[in-house]
A and B are shown apart, each in its own frame.
Chain A
């Protein structure tokens, strides 16, 4: 929703079982076919499959997930030439992303994103700690 406010056109791609209910009303276009969804994309933001938080099977197997929803070079080719790949980490290589994409410095922003993520979290924590300290003083 934030990305929408900033003027991006957002598509959500994934199996129907992992889609939040009513996702199509968030201003994002929903795709269950990754190849169709990737067409002409500028940036592909992968998310980690959080299997540890899943009760019951949302999809049948890692093999099938990778085949239909894992980002590999083949599927990446459908996006705009020069499209960038992001992922918040830690990655499940071979589940949602192929190493050949994750480790390609020409397309992958992942390491930078993770580094920035650490700095961002530190900044947030510091801001919270300072505001807490200020409140105690008053």
Chain B
């Protein structure tokens, strides 16, 4: 057993509760006690949080890592370092590696290799939903799930053939696995590089209409309803999509939804000046969309926030806007990004943290994400108010394509623990 650690003098942000309380956390490799803790157990190491917050380590359900195949973008090691610095203790790795993770042996590769390299951060593989992400033949969902794939996704390549998605969702019910799908009509989005609207017109750039999202979302919800499959709507970006999601949830469709942290903080104006680092997929939408998404997060309509971490080297990003790659790194800015909703709108910390800890844990059926006795001691200490100016060159990720570069953010991670071990200290 790991030597016990006692965090004292902390504000406890328990995502299962609605209020922040003063107290401490005692843990070894699992949490032993939470709240008012009298005395220091013998042999325990004491960490004085000095009034900072303690919360479960974050669970990021959507992270791209370049290993295997694109190690110049990100490796298990660099992703682990970036995650630990961002307070992320568990992350789900997307299958769009080279080779694509669509076979048992590749899931096995990630499960064996990542724990040695990732410095304590739990890296969980997502498997491709279709062979080669081609949208034609479903993968061996049962065998991949037994091998340890935590969810199935076609990544950034939506499945056009409705029958293929229907069969996959239906087949997946036999194994009770989660199927994530990006709601974007690839034909409507084809060639578009930013949100379609007045700004795109003025900038002379081809747009991606909000309808690209609503059309695909309505289809996906209909298929989830038809099959009873467990669907994760992957990264919503528009206000228009929300009524359909709400109606489906009310009808009892087995659906949960995520939003990319950047869509809660930024809007289309952040690409003005042709800033390719804010070129994302789905694109940053209007301010009305951003506000609607943050409200949907607060109300629980949107279940989880993801970083959408997508490392891209400068040579893919420092290009004319239309040619530049989509995507942004996010592991290290996930927490401060979400905290902007606390500072600007007064959203409660427990509500915001729930979407980064407890909800993802429930959806992925993980024991993490809780401040409860017996839960794995994945924890972070953070100061929600600490301001800093982001220097993207100082990011621990191998790529530094952050749209938050030079922006002032609030919320600094001071320490991160995974399975009771200190894996990051500011």
**Interface of A with B (CB < 8 Å)?**
15-17, 32-33, 56-61, 63-64, 67-68
Contacts and interface: CB of A to CB of B under 8 A. Distances in A.
Interface residues of B, number: 16
Given A56-B167, A64-B140, 17 more contacts: A16-B170, A16-B174, A16-B227, A17-B170, A57-B137, A57-B138, A57-B164, A57-B167, A58-B167, A58-B171, A60-B137, A60-B138, A60-B141, A60-B171, A67-B142, A67-B143, A68-B142
A64 B142 contact: yes
Contacts of B143: 63-64, 67
23 contacts: A16-B170, A16-B171, A16-B173, A32-B174, A33-B174, A56-B163, A56-B167, A57-B138, A57-B164, A57-B167, A58-B167, A59-B138, A60-B137, A60-B138, A60-B139, A60-B140, A60-B142, A60-B171, A63-B140, A63-B143, A67-B142, A67-B143, A68-B142
Interface in B140-159: 140-143
B140 A15 contact: no
Contacts of B163: 56
Contacts of B164: 56-57
Contacts of A56: 163-164, 167
Interface string B223-258: 000010000000000000000000000000000000
Nearest to A33: B174
- By Cβ-Cβ distance, the 9 closest A-B pairs, closest first, are A32-B174, A64-B140, A60-B140, A16-B170, A17-B171, A57-B137, A60-B138, A17-B170, A68-B142
Contacts of B139: 60
A68 B170 CA distance: 16
Contact of A59 (B171, B173, B227): B171
Interface in B109-151: 136-143
A33 B174 CA distance: 7
A17 B172 CA distance: 9
B167 A61 contact: no
Contacts of B167: 17, 56-58
Among A15, A56, A57, A60, max chain B CB count under 10 A is at A60
Nearest to B166: A17
A33 B139 CA distance: 18
A16 B167 CA distance: 9
A55 to B, nearest CB: 9
Nearest to A34: B174
B140 A61 contact: yes
Nearest to B163: A56
A59 B138 CA distance: 7
A32 B173 contact: yes
Contacts of B227: 16
Contacts of A15: 171, 174
Contacts of B137: 57, 60
Contacts of B171: 15-17, 58-60
Contacts of A57: 136-138, 164, 167
Contacts of A17: 167, 170-171
Contacts of A63: 140, 143
B151 to A, nearest CB: 16
Contacts of B173: 16, 32
A67 B143 CA distance: 8
Nearest to B131: A60
A54 B167 CA distance: 12
B166 to A, nearest CB: 9
Nearest to A59: B171
A17 B170 CA distance: 6
Contacts of A32: 173-174
A49 to B, nearest CB: 14
A35 B418 CA distance: 37
A107 to B, nearest CB: 26
Contacts of A59: 138, 171
A60 B137 CA distance: 7
Interface string B173-215: 1100000000000000000000000000000000000000000
A77 B257 CA distance: 42
Contacts of A61: 140
A96 B143 CA distance: 16
Interface in B355-407: none
A60 to B, nearest CB: 4
A15 B141 CA distance: 12
Nearest to B173: A16
A37 to B, nearest CB: 11
